[in-house]
Amino acid sequence: MKTNDNKLTNAETPHSSKRRLDAWVIPAKGDEMETVNIQKFKCSICGELYDNPEEARSCEDKPVSQDKGVKIGDTVLITGGDGTGKNAIVEKIWIIDKCWGHYAWKRYWHTVCLGAEIIDGFGNRVLTFDNYEPV
C-alpha cells in the first residue's frame, strides 16, 4: 500500500513479503536460535554438493580424467600461464568440481589439478592439466 507521498510503507518494503516490520520479534541476547537442518548430497569424487541424490550420483558417474600420474613432491614443467618454462614442485593435488570457471567448467570438471611451488620463481601456481607436463 502506498501513502500519499508515494513512499513505501513498512508493510511494502522489499523482501518483507508484506509483513509488518513492527510485528517482528527480535530475540533478546542469549535467547536460543532456531536450528534448521538442510540435507545436501555430496559427490565423493569432487566434493560438490547437490540438493538431491540423483544429481550427486550423476556427478559421480563422470570419470576422473587428465591424470598425468604426478604425486606430491614430483617436479613438473609449467607449459602455460605465469612461470611458463619453469619447473615447479607439486604441493597439493585435487579434483576440480563443476564450479571451476564460468565458461569452461565442462572442460575441467573432474580433471586433476595441482598446486605447485615454482622453483627459483615467485610463488605458487594452480596448474590445470593443460598448463603442466611431468618432468
Half-sphere CA count of 86, side-chain side, radius 13 A? 18
Q: Quick one: average pLDDT of 46-71?
A: 96
Query: Is residue 45 assigned to a domain?
Result: no
Residue 128: inside a domain, yes or no?
yes
56 within a domain of the structure (yes/no): no
Please tell me the total count of domains within the chain.
1
Task: Determine the Cα–Cα distance for residues 133 and 135; give it in Å rounded to an integer.
Answer: 6
Q: What is the pTM of this model?
A: 0.69
Q: For residue 22, is it within any domain?
A: no
Answer whether residue 98 is part of any domain: yes
Q: Does 116 fall in a domain?
A: yes
Domain hosting 120: range is 75-134
Residue 34 falls within a domain, yes or no? no
The string of pLDDT tens digits covering residues 5-35 is 555 455 544 554 555 556 666 777 777 788 8
